[in-house]
Amino acid sequence: MKERGILLVVSGFAGSGKGTLMKELLKRYDNYALSVSATTRSPRPGEINGVDYFFVTTENFENMVAKNELLEHAKYVSNYYGTPRGYVEEQLQAGKDVLLEIEIQGALIIKEKYPEALLLFVIPPSVQEVYGRLKKRGTETKEVIASRMRRAKEEAEMIGRYDYLIINDDLDTCVQTLHHVVMSAHCAVFRNYDTINKIKRQFVDFLEGE
């Protein structure tokens, strides 16, 4: 039986580069799968159903909520977003390490449902860098940037609830570090009781055979 995968929940300030990190992990290593969210918003040009999102109707979405098929969900503006339990479970069972990029409230709900999930928070090397990255996007007004900075300040108060903190100063190092965290978690003794029990039985058999 293949060992169950690890659920890695990734949050971070706007502009922390966490999206790029996820993409790089998927590209470099074959043990990862990205959790795909369900949403009621319309697909944008180029977005593919089942890859970028599972695009569903509001009725479908509310049905999923009612049937407890979402690990967490939230409403932004007038659209629902949620994490389908089925997809995550399927990937974990197949032995894939599942990456789930999600904001803090969602991450803490996931941790309640999957206490063995790893919560990882990504920060840029400095607050100036957070500001700089938001400004560089060029798509947001000064007021939107200021509100994102205030939000990031509030988010910083929650980092203590996470398991790991990663500073994204260099993409390559940061991708490696994320990979270290997941690979290390696979070796935790509490995830290897089957192996330990197997070796104990082997010793008994071996010594009886002597």
Query: Shortest gap between Cβ of 205 and a copy of itself (angstroms)?
Result: 8
Specify the residue, 94 or 188, whose C-beta has the smaller distance to a copy of itself: 188
Query: Shortest gap between Cβ of 187 and a copy of itself (angstroms)?
Result: 4
Return the closest-CA partner of residue 61 out of 40, 47, 89, 85: 40
Specify the residue, 82 or 97, whose C-beta has the smaller distance to a copy of itself: 97
Query: Shortest gap between Cβ of 198 and a copy of itself (angstroms)?
Result: 9
Query: Shortest gap between Cβ of 26 and a copy of itself (angstroms)?
Result: 18
Query: Shortest gap between Cβ of 193 and a copy of itself (angstroms)?
Result: 8
Specify the residue, 47 or 169, whose C-beta has the smaller distance to a copy of itself: 169
Binding site for a copy of itself (CB under 8 A): 120-121, 123, 126-128, 131, 146, 149-150, 152-153, 156-157, 159-160, 162-167, 176-177, 179-181, 183-185, 187-189, 192-193, 195-196, 199-200, 202-207, 210
Specify the residue, 63 or 195, whose C-beta has the smaller distance to a copy of itself: 195
Cα 109-95-121 angle, rounded to 5 deg: 40
What is the per-residue burial (b if ≥16 Cβ within 10 Å, else e) of 177-192?
A: bbbebbeebeeeeeee
Distance CA 210, CA 61 (A): 62
| The 70-76 sheet, strands edge to edge | 54-55, 38-39, 79-84, 70-76
Distance CA 7, CA 92 (A): 7
Give the burial class of 89: count Cβ atoms within 10 A of its Cβ; 0-12 exposed, 13-18 middle, 19 or more buried.
Answer: middle
Give the burial class of 37: count Cβ atoms within 10 A of its Cβ; 0-12 exposed, 13-18 middle, 19 or more buried.
Answer: buried
Query: Shortest gap between Cβ of 208 and a copy of itself (angstroms)?
Result: 11
Cα distance from N-terminal residue to C-terminal residue, the chain = 30
Specify the residue, 49 or 147, whose C-beta has the smaller distance to a copy of itself: 147
Specify the residue, 70 or 119, whose C-beta has the smaller distance to a copy of itself: 119
